[in-house]
Chain A
Amino acid sequence: GAGVSQTPSNKVTEKGKYVELRCDPISGHTALYWYRQSLGQGPEFLIYFQGTGAADDSGLPNDRFFAVRPEGSVSTLKIQRTERGDSAVYLCASSSTQGATEAFFGQGTRLTVV
């Protein structure tokens, strides 16, 4: 079956612009995670959804970052007034429930802010 799908795979935007990154989790997965990965670093947790609600958004770096999951499946990460420091690979992961032992990651969206 299909894995976690992230679109676009690459996004180049100008400093100050608004961007949306989309994540389609595996069908039926209730838990969804967003991570950010800078070059040479491990992924850094941003936000976790259980169903439609954000159960933990403690990793969002500031109020320019926001994520939604209105119907409990697709999620969108939104970044306002992008800065060059936002350039990174944004990864999405899903698992069948919070109790599942394995998270499935997408291939990520590479965001470049110029």
Chain B
Amino acid sequence: DAKTTQPPSMDCAEGRAANLPCNHSTISGNEYVYWYRQIHSQGPQYIIHGLKNNETNEMASLIITEDRKSSTLILPHATLRDTAVYYCIVSPTSGTYKYIFGTGTRLKVLA
């Protein structure tokens, strides 16, 4: 079973920040938080990952709480192309792994 809990769906206005929450209250100290997204009819796409510190790349920011029991993926300026299912995954390694996907959050960006 997935070690994460995400809301099933969210809406966001185009141009606004999209904040996608994820609960992983049973995460172990050496486990990483990964985010992937899946646009309709495509395979999942890597977004970002982190262990303890907040992370930022060209796609998104990842905020991990101090107790590491939850995190938030932030898309700073959502566009229509960001409409997708977003998966939060807990992984025992910083390398690629046999991910356990949950059902994710279906983000719909509205014009």
Contact = CB atoms under 8 A, between A and B. Distances in A.
Interface of A: 4, 31, 33, 35, 40-45, 48, 56, 58-59, 91, 93, 95, 97-108
Contacts, number: 62
Interface of chain B: mostly helix, strand, loop or mixed:
loop
A33 B98 contact: yes
B98 A101 contact: no
Contacts of B30: none
B99 A45 contact: yes
A91 B44 CA distance: 9
B45 A33 contact: no
Nearest to B32: A101
A46 B45 CA distance: 18
A44 to B, nearest CB: 7
